């Protein structure tokens, strides 16, 4: 009974924190408002629950929005999900945090994880574009051109297709 009750309480607390997150109130989402817990308190008070795990995702995203890239990486690396979209998104956000810190090697690693996690028409092309940008920033122009080429060949209906064609051509010219 205790575990069920703890899960229910954690879910109820998560609802208010998500409300603050959706309203771009990162501080309240992370730390609560004095009446309701924030993501960090949910993680601490309800360890091992689904709500605590999901709070890690939201806390990481909140830290990223606030410019605390180390905090974002720490929380997102602790998050784990077999959800169709969330785990890939977490990898992408970790890549974003590394990009903000000009750590292109780690950004590339996490964007690759995002690309490889349950490929889909909606998000994989976006992750590929982020990967190509990181590769270009690292100086790997040919790799970046090839990554854009994957968007062109494998995702012809993507909203990224026109930019991918343009960037691929630009990078191929630069690489010569």
Q: What is the reported pTM? A: 0.93
pLDDT at 85 (0 to 100):
92
d(CA 9, CA 164): 46
144 Cβ contact partners less than 8 Å away, ≥ 6 residues apart: 132, 133, 135, 136, 167, 171
25 Cβ contact partners less than 8 Å away, ≥ 6 residues apart: none
First to last CA, the chain: 67
pLDDT at 2 (0 to 100):
46
| 8-to-4, 66, 81, 142 alpha-carbon distances in Å | 6, 29, 19, 51
pLDDT at 1 (0 to 100):
40
pLDDT at 43 (0 to 100):
97
118 Cβ contact partners less than 8 Å away, ≥ 6 residues apart: 84, 85, 87, 88
pLDDT at 13 (0 to 100):
85
Identify the burial level of 117 via C-beta atoms within 10 angstroms of its C-beta, where 0-12 means exposed, 13-18 middle and 19 or more buried. Answer: buried
Q: What is the mean pLDDT of each run of 10 residues along the chain (176 residues)?
A: 65 92 97 96 94 97 98 98 94 98 98 96 97 98 98 97 98 92
CA angle 65, 57, 52 (to 5 degrees): 130
Checking phi first, is residue 67 left (phi over 0); if not, alpha (psi -120 to 50) or beta? left
| 44-to-15, 29, 39, 81, 145 alpha-carbon distances in Å | 16, 14, 9, 19, 44
pLDDT at 4 (0 to 100):
58
Q: Please say whether the beta carbons of 125 and 158 come within 8 A.
A: yes
d(CA 95, CA 99): 6
């Amino acid at each position: 009974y205790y575990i069920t009750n703890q899960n229910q309480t954690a879910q109820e607390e998560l609802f208010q924190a998500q409300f603050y997150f959706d309203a771009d109130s990162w501080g309240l989402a992370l730390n609560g408002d004095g009446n309701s817990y924030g993501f960090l308190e949910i993680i601490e008070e309800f360890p091992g629950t689904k709500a605590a795990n999901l709070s890690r995702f939201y806390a990481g995203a909140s830290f990223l929005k606030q410019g605390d890239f180390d905090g974002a990486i720490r929380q997102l690396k602790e998050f784990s999900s077999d959800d169709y979209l969330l785990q890939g998104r977490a990898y992408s956000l970790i890549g974003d945090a590394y990009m903000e810190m000009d750590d292109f090697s780690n950004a590339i690693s996490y964007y690759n994880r995002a690309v490889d996690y349950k490929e889909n028409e909606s998000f994989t092309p976006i992750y590929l574009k982020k990967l190509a940008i990181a590769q270009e920033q690292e100086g790997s122009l040919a790799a970046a051109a090839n990554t854009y080429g994957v968007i062109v060949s494998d995702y012809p209906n993507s909203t990224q297709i026109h930019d991918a064609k343009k960037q691929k051509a630009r990078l191929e010219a630069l690489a010569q």
